[in-house]
Amino acid sequence: MLQKPFVVANWKMNHGVKHSVEAAADIVVGLKQIPFTGGVVVCPVDTALMAVQTIVEESPVALGAQDVSWEDTGSFTGEIAPWMLREVGVDYVIVGHSERRKYLNETDEMVNKKTKNALEEGITPIVCVGESFEQRQEGEQEHVVMRQVQKALDGISLGPAHSILFAYEPIWAIGTGQAIDAEEANHMHSVINQILIDHFPDQVVKENTTILYGGSADEKNTPGFLEKQHINGFLVGTASIKSQQFVEVIKAVHNAT
Ligand code: PGA
């Protein structure tokens, strides 16, 4: 796993340009008080990317997008290619979030193509995987997540300059205020880690991959997750919307690592 922990803010469709800029500025200021050496990434809506970039450049905060096309150019109305994200300073992109899988019918194949396309442009994908409540009740969580990770990685190799992040997000814990048990999350992370070990050389797994937890992660529960072997950061939705709370999450992660 990448040695440094990551804390990623997924603002989803909550902030327009004005609020994204204000939140990013608060985080940049807040981070000055925390000697956090991990990665901090903010993912605003596309319309706010350029404005947020002007706030975070020259700061330790990196810019992420919430989605990317698997195509590079042409007649794909509404889509944005990785090189276009790159043009405005994007270094990370969330791929295959469960909300996109659910509402926009994103398939494992699309997730794979988007992941590949992002990597080819040097953008680090944050690939989201996770089971639904029904799948968990049926005891299918390992099978579901293994399939999602394996399909996302199909045909992918990582060059020394490329990294890939996975975010294990049990769908039934997202936005509920109730994160899952840290030990259970760690078990699912170990399942993902094993696939990474099977797919990539050891050195690549160690230096170019990491696994985040997402699903009601906040400033209170993150330290407990970080005690676990395979959990190395967070994809944060609700607790990232108020910038002060997100800074508290970063502080909690910093203090726990
Ligand atoms: P949540 O969202 O923190 O509100 O559960 C996480 C996510 O959907 O990435």
- Span 32-41, pLDDT tens digits: 999 999 999 9
Question: What are the catalytic residues?
Answer: 97, 169
State the Cα–Cα distance between residues 244 and 118, nearest whole angstrom. Answer: 30
CB 188 less than 6 A from any atom of ligand 1: no
- Residue 161's pLDDT is 87
Q: Residue 243 carries which side chain, given as an amino acid letter?
A: S
Ligand 1 atom nearest to CA at 98: 8
Do the Cβ atoms of 234 and 214 come closer than 8 Å?
yes
Ligand 1 atom nearest to CA at 238: 4
State the Cα–Cα distance between residues 158 and 209, nearest whole angstrom. Answer: 9
Residues of the chain with pLDDT under 70: 1
Q: Residue 201 carries which side chain, given as an amino acid letter?
A: P
- Residue 3's pLDDT is 77
State the Cα–Cα distance between residues 157 and 155, nearest whole angstrom. Answer: 7
State the Cα–Cα distance between residues 174 and 188, nearest whole angstrom. Answer: 16
Enclosing H/E stretch for 246: helix 243-256
Distance 117 CA to ligand 1 centre (A): 24
Q: Residue 108 carries which side chain, given as an amino acid letter?
A: D
Q: Is the dihedral of CA 102, 104, 107, 113 positive or negative?
A: negative
Distance 98 CA to ligand 1 centre (A): 10
Look at residues 245, 201, 255 and name the one whose alpha carbon lies nearest to residue 14.
245
- Residue 117's pLDDT is 98
Tell me the β-bridge partners of 42: 9, 63
Look at residues 235, 197, 198, 215 and name the one whose alpha carbon lies nearest to residue 1.
197
The two tokens of residue 116 are: 């590949």
Look at residues 91, 59, 95 and name the one whose alpha carbon lies nearest to residue 161.
91
Q: What angle do CA 140, 201, 101 make, to 5 degrees?
A: 35
Domains located in the chain, CATH noted: 64-235 (3.20.20.70)
Closest residue to atom 6 of ligand 1, CA basis: 237
Q: pLDDT for 60-70, tens place per residue?
A: 999 999 999 99
Enclosing H/E stretch for 151: helix 141-152
State the Cα–Cα distance between residues 45 and 29, nearest whole angstrom. Answer: 21
